[in-house]
Amino acid sequence: MTHDLTTGVYPAMTTPFLEDGSIDHDRLAANASRLEAAGVDGVVPVGSTGESATLTHQEHVDVVETVVEAVDVPVIAGAGSNATHEALVLARGAEDAGADGLLLISPYYNKPEPAGMEAHYRAIADEVDLPQIIYNVPSRTGRNIAVETAVNLASHENIVGYKAASGDLGRVSEVARRTATEEFSVLSGDDGLTLPIISVGGTGVISVAANVEPERTVELVHGALDGDYEQAREVHRELAPLVDALFAETNPIPVKAAMEIRGHGTGRLRSPLSTISPENRRELESVLADLAEGAE
């Protein structure tokens, strides 16, 4: 079964910065409005793509407030941490800022065992009365959320979804199968796997590519959800070169460069992230030019 906040396309928004390193709230609001106008189902600020690891707690809250004020679609705020008490602070802050739901990356670096992982998520879900999506991205955290843990958490009324970014389609399929009778959904967290994840029971994507090509991403996802796999495959093939280019370096380095090329920001990043390499920027420019030509 699906939940209102877990069906469709949810861009994982970038956080734009001014020259002095502070957050560019005007650009942030404009980007959120642009995505809403493109037909996305919701937006996800202050996740990994939003450089959440380099934001202060107050900046987290300020970003969420700006996005909430800018759009009428659901706002799912990133609020994870490797310390449960800190994740609770971020979750409560997002709730106070008006977020409609939470995206909670699994605890990173300290690599909890399954019992600790489950206790972490239950503690947040017990304390904060918002729909929550657990987020499995072992390339960043060093630890998978065990399938059994995800299945156990699906029974909690506030835990409504699982963002799958492990690259393991078998694992995603098993979570989808074993939670099919719950009010719980599986979302792709890998743009290149969105179509196959929907084919095994997924209901949408939290997408990096949708920052750059929101209309095409909506066309792909809603086409697949409506059963039009021929059309979805065509869009999947169109977007494949962009997806490759967006992950040629650590996210969000390439997507910020792509948005700068498209006129949606400056591409500024917070240290220790560095500017995209000249060769990867040239590839991005070529891919984006081809997509623009194809849209004409």
Which domains can be identified in the chain, with CATH numbers?
Answer: 8-226 (3.20.20.70)
Beta-carbon contacts of 179 under 8 Å, excluding residues fewer than 6 positions away, are 150, 151, 154, 162, 186
Q: How far apart are CA 273 and CA 17, in angstroms?
A: 13
Annotated binding-site residue? 66: no
Annotated binding-site residue? 206: yes
Which candidate, 37, 42, 40, places its Cα nearest to that of 67? Answer: 42
* Per-position pLDDT tens, the chain of length 296: 345 789 999 999 999 999 999 999 999 999 999 999 999 999 999 999 999 999 999 999 999 999 999 999 999 999 999 999 999 999 999 999 999 999 999 999 999 999 999 999 999 999 999 999 999 998 999 899 999 999 999 999 999 999 999 999 999 999 999 999 999 999 999 999 999 999 999 999 999 999 999 999 999 999 999 999 999 999 999 999 999 999 999 999 999 999 999 999 999 999 999 999 999 999 999 999 999 987 76
Strands 8-11 and 204-207, how do they pair?
parallel
At residue 296, the pLDDT reads 63
Q: What is the pTM of this model?
A: 0.96
List the catalytic residues: 135, 163
Q: How far apart are CA 23 and CA 158, in angstroms?
A: 31
